[in-house]
Amino acid sequence: MTHRQRTIFAFSILAALLLFVGFGQSWSVALVIINLCLVSAVMALGLNLQWGYAGLFNAGVMGFAALGGVAAILVSHAPVEEAWSAGGGNLLIALGLFALTVAVGYIVHRRMAAGNARRLVMLGVILIGYWSFRGFFSDAVRAIESVDPVRTGFLGGLGMPIIFSWVVGGLFAAGVAWLIGRIALGLRADYFAIATLGISEIVVALLKNEDWLTRGPKNVSGLKRPVPYEVELQSSDWFIAAIERLHAGALSSAASAAERQDILAQFIISGSSIFVKLCYMGLFGTVLLIVLGLSVRALNSPWGRMMRAIRDREDAASAMGKNVIFRHRQIFILGSAIIGVAGAMLTTIDGQFTPGSYNPLRYSFLIWVMVIIGGSGNNLGAVLGGFLIWFFWIEAEPASLWVLGHAIAVLGDGSAIAQRMIDAAPHMRQLLMGLTLIMVLRFSPRGILPEYVRHIR
Amino acid sequence: MSYLSGENLRGGYGGADILQGCSIDVDRGEIAVIVGPNGAGKSTAMNALLGMLNLSEGKVLLDGRDISDLSPQDRVKEGMAFVPQTNNVFASMTVQENLEMGAYLRRDNYMETMDQIYSLFPILAEKRNQAAGELSGGQRQQVAVGRALMTDPTVLMLDEPTAGVSPIVMDELFDRIVEIKKAGIAVLMVEQNARQALNVADRGFVLVTGENRFTDTGDALLANPDVRRSFLGG
Amino acid sequence: MTEFLNAIILLSNFVIIPALSYGSQLALGALGVTLVFGILRFANFAHGDLMAFGTMVTIFLTWWLQSLGVSFGPLPTALLALPAAIVITALFALLTDRLVYRYYRRIKAVPVVYIVASVGVMFVLNGLVRILIGTEDQLFSDGQKFIIHANDFKQMTGLSEGLSFKVTQGLTIALAVLVVAALFWFLQRTRTGKAMRAYSDNENLALFSGINPDRVVMVTWIIAASLATIAGVLYGLDKSFKPFIYFQLLLPIFAAAIVGGIGQPIGAIVGGYIVAFSEIASTYVYRKFLIYVMPESLEPTGMAQVLPTEYKFAVSFVLLVVVLLVRPTGIFRGKVL
């Protein structure tokens, strides 16, 4: 099979699977899966940039996705005026002191010669800074968090359309990636992986516990959508008219006006839910196409060739005068920004930010599985992996329940073993995912769609 | 028929053939030295005898037996000991432990061998509980040779044992190597310091671009005007 | 004077003893990670889940023993189940090596490939444990609960602060000391242990000395699996068993191994205690302690806590990052990764 045929074949199978769910389960379910597949694919593209192009093992995808999620609140939630007036002043003072501490620390670090004296001064600066900052900060936090804690208890956001948060999420992630890059790039792969995993856990720990910013475990829900709400659609004339036209055949066969009205109401309800999902699909699909287009262009540009050269022969590239660390930082920031965008998209479609839901298995390692199984270094492979793995991650449970259902029918119902097996069904996906990863790594290490380099003849 | 011989060796590390059909042999109680310019394939020839590269042609015989298909570890079991040029000691382990590791495969009592090594290299006895990584370059080289001897080998192969050591230490090391040969061991060395090495050598092989340019006794090579002019600096 | 004694007891009760037992658990975990790193040369992301697996096996065996009416007097029954659980876990580890990692040794894969493979193993173990025992908390500690109860201590000494010392804490510390002593004896004194050190130090030379790499790797997995099972069981007895928490323990364990110097067994132990003490000491509320030791005029008004308790886990990550910045080889100059 040529490379092209292979790609078309793989995506056809994917489409068939999704159609199967659409016809078999419901279109609504299929669309939910597709939308999350789109988000996963964007994340996978971001990680593929880091791993596939540059060989960076970023185990901290979760942190960047969560930063995107925070951006969604900070951009779209209405500002909480009382909280700002209660604690805003102290908070700004605290942040100012923090910035001052960092600045003084930086100057000391630059100006003083390395040695014990500098260490001592640095320690002093940090301690003094910490204690002066801490007082204002905890006062501010206490004041903010006591403002109507059941409903708000945090500063809120800017009250802007949530779609802007996709950009802001990318910027947040890029900023943190810059910082991580300064710390951890240049270390060997194992260390880099552990460091990024650790930092992503720190990021999530902060988001879980800084209630003044994110409401922490109380979650922020009811984020404004970038697409219409179902209830709005159900009462808007143009939508009803469109549904009527779409289902004219079914409606005309109704026996009475009342029955027609009933059927129409049914169609409108299901239609509105599907319409909303289609809107999301349009938005997400656009983002995916933009990111994919840029990634493909980048990969085939001189820049992409240089990146692959650095990945494959780091020493040689460095000897040729390529600044490896700078290039790694660049691509790490780019990839993380894309993951941040996807994180914001995810919070957008959920309509809520739940810091407790971020766990490295689902948000870091699963994205890894997507990239490796899809085909590291191949953008279409990453997209395919994003779709395929998310599909299996979601469908593993119903599928194993279905299989178990038949098994139990044979074994006989009501046994303790049967119950145990039904309880176990949701965890089949970890097992299957692990086995798939191990098998692909062993027997097809370049993934379903291997890296493909266009050769200039 | 020599004890260890590589005949018509041809091969490399996957790329182009580095060895172009060279032959090396050494008998027990002899020192054989491989010399030649940089890039001539001296170390590669030794690695070929050890089984660390794929030979496209030629064979390696040990005591008349074809060992071409044995892995390096299996050749160690057959009595071939090797001292690499660098990283040739367990730096974090004591001198004594280094020697014990040399005797890893031996099930007999190796204390006698250890005593012999300590009398060959008295400084090691003194530093037996010190980490090998803390020793000087020359002492480290002694540990490396000692570790190899602990395997109770019939063949001792040394890759540039005198690289980076002072001339005094070098002379002493060559003296010890002569003593080792007298114990009936076949010694094969790759050497940069060609003149000094050929002085102690019973056989010498001058390799150029993976082929034998001159093969003779050490003395004869030292006396050969062509060899002197091209390889010994006059 | 009694003020001062009270302060010491307070600190022992809430910081020193908990940190000693938690530190022992981390140290045992970090020893496993560091040994695998030293010999197989990769950071094993599946180690936390291997701990969970070993603990799960122990719990099943404990339940079985309990159903037979077997008990271990004042000590937890789990201790009786431990040896068999270690054997099963070690066999499992050897099986993963045979099916997964050995192939990559044969083809001399780069370290990152091993990590990806270990992520695969992590997923498998994760799913397996959840399928077999579920995700809920499991309490499996039985036998006597306390060596010293806080109230008894108060009556005994007449101090107003009580010191409680749980059986599981004492057991953890004692068992950790025993296991570590045995491990060091093994590494320093036995032929196989020395061969492991030699292999870790200089793989090539070890091969030229006739050391069999497969055997070294096998012994390493057996030891790593034993340490993982012991660490996991002690942690589970001391707190409770929950698969997700065990997965999370991976990071403090990595932190311990790296802070101490990866590949260095002694570093893993020191690192374990450093991480444990940092986590507990930085989130402890010193208010009461300061009231005891400070003159009345200087008594604190706030909680006197360095970090909110929620950040306990995060402390180890911060420590990890700081070590990466300042001294990537760790305290005992481990291998630079």
Domain boundaries, chain A: 33-79+156-443, 80-155
Domain architecture of chain C: domains with CATH: 2-326 (1.10.3470)
pLDDT tens, residue by residue, A286-315: 999 999 999 999 888 899 888 888 888 888
Q: Which of A55, A183, A372 sits opposite C324 (nearest CB)?
A: A183
Calculate the alpha carbon distances from A372 to A56, A57, C115 in Å. Answer: 13, 11, 12
The whole-number pLDDT of residue C238 equals 92
pLDDT beyond 60 at A173: yes
* Phi, psi angles (nearest 5°) of residue B224: -70, 120
The whole-number pLDDT of residue A372 equals 93
**pTM recorded for the entire structure:** 0.91
* Phi, psi angles (nearest 5°) of residue B27: -110, 165
Q: Scanning the structure block, which residue is given the tokens 């708000």?
A: A152
By CB atoms closer than 10 A (0-12, 13-18, 19+), residue A378 is: buried
Q: How confident is the model at residue A415 (pLDDT cuts 50, 70, 90)?
A: low
Residue A180 touches chain C, beta carbons under 8 Å: no
The whole-number pLDDT of residue A43 equals 96
pLDDT beyond 80 at C325: no
Domain boundaries, chain B: 26-40+78-231
Measured between beta carbons, the chain A residues lying within 8 angstroms of C124 are 430-431, 434-435, 438
Subunits with at least 3 CB pairs below 8 A relative to chain B?
C
Calculate the alpha carbon distances from C335 to A48, B8, C35, C202 in Å. Answer: 29, 42, 12, 12
Tokens of A321: 């005068």
The vertex-C149 CA angle with C143 and C152, nearest 5°, equals 130
Q: What's the distance, CA A383 to chain centroid?
A: 14
The whole-number pLDDT of residue A12 equals 94
The interface predicted TM-score (ipTM) is 0.91
Strand order across the beta sheet in which B31-35 lies? B80-83, B155-159, B186-190, B31-35, B203-208, B211-216
The rounded distance, in Å, linking the Cα atoms of C115 and C100 is 11
Range C99-106, long-range pairs (CB < 8 A, 24+ positions): C99/A438, C100/A438, C100/A442, C101/C40, C102/C217, C103/A442, C105/C40, C105/C213, C105/C217
The whole-number pLDDT of residue A119 equals 86
Say if CB A370 and CB A386 are below 8 A apart. yes
pLDDT tens, residue by residue, C291-308: 888 887 777 777 778 888
Subunits with at least 3 CB pairs below 8 A relative to chain A?
C
The whole-number pLDDT of residue B234 equals 62
Mean pLDDT of all residues in A239-258: 85
The rounded distance, in Å, linking the Cα atoms of B149 and A243 is 91
Q: Scanning the structure block, which residue is given the tokens 């390696």?
A: B60
The whole-number pLDDT of residue A116 equals 86
Q: Which range is least confidently modeled, A251-255, A344-348, B144-148?
A: A251-255
Say if CB B124 and CB B149 are below 8 A apart. no
Q: How confident is the model at residue C337 (pLDDT cuts 50, 70, 90)?
A: very low
pLDDT beyond 70 at B212: yes
Q: How confident is the model at residue A414 (pLDDT cuts 50, 70, 90)?
A: low
pLDDT tens, residue by residue, C114-138: 999 999 999 999 999 999 998 889 8
Measured between beta carbons, the chain B residues lying within 8 angstroms of C207 are 72-73, 76
The whole-number pLDDT of residue A259 equals 86
The whole-number pLDDT of residue A457 equals 44
- Nearest Cα neighbor of C324 from A185, A54, A326 is A185
Percent of residues, chain B, with pLDDT higher than 70? 100
Cβ neighbors of A315 (< 8 A, separation 6 or more) are none
By CB atoms closer than 10 A (0-12, 13-18, 19+), residue A40 is: buried
- The residue with greater pLDDT, B195 or C336, is B195
Percentages helix, strand, coil for chain A, rounded to the nearest 5?
80, 0, 20
Residue-averaged pLDDT of chain A: 89
pLDDT beyond 80 at C53: yes
Contact B73 C202 (CB under 8 A): no
pLDDT tens, residue by residue, A179-229: 988 878 877 788 888 889 989 999 999 999 888 889 888 889 889 899 999
The one-character DSSP state at B86 is: S
The rounded distance, in Å, linking the Cα atoms of A368 and A386 is 10
Contact C116 A187 (CB under 8 A): no
Task: Report the gap between the CA of A438 and the closest CA in chain C (Å).
Answer: 5
Residues of B with CB under 8 A from a CB of C: 72-73, 76-77, 81-82, 84, 87-93, 97, 100-102, 104-105, 147-148, 151
Calculate the alpha carbon distances from A19 to A13, A307, A312, A349, C233 in Å. Answer: 10, 38, 40, 22, 47
Return the half-sphere exposure (C-beta side, CA atoms, 13 A cut-off) of residue A182. Answer: 6
The whole-number pLDDT of residue C224 equals 97
The whole-number pLDDT of residue A109 equals 87
**Domain A33-79+156-443: top CATH class:** mainly alpha
Give the fold, CATH level 3, of B26-40+78-231: Rossmann fold (3.40.50)
pLDDT beyond 90 at A283: yes
Say if CB C311 and CB C295 are below 8 A apart. no
pLDDT tens, residue by residue, C219-250: 999 999 999 999 999 999 999 999 989 998 99
Q: Which of C201, C209, C212 sits opposite B92 (nearest CB)?
A: C201
Q: Which range is least confidently modeled, A389-403, B128-142, B147-161, C263-277?
A: A389-403
pLDDT beyond 50 at B87: yes
Contact C251 A432 (CB under 8 A): no
pLDDT beyond 90 at A347: yes
Per DSSP, the three-state class of B91 is coil
Three-class DSSP labels, A247-293: CHHHHHCCCCHHHHHHHHHHHHHHHHHHHHHHHHHHHHHHHHHHHHH
Helix (H) or strand (E) holding B205, with range, is strand B203-208
Measured between beta carbons, the chain C residues lying within 8 angstroms of A188 are 111, 336-337
The whole-number pLDDT of residue B38 equals 85
pLDDT tens, residue by residue, A363-393: 999 999 999 999 988 999 999 999 999 999 9
Give the residue from C131, C251, C275 with the most A CB atoms within 10 Å of its CB, the best one to mutate: C131
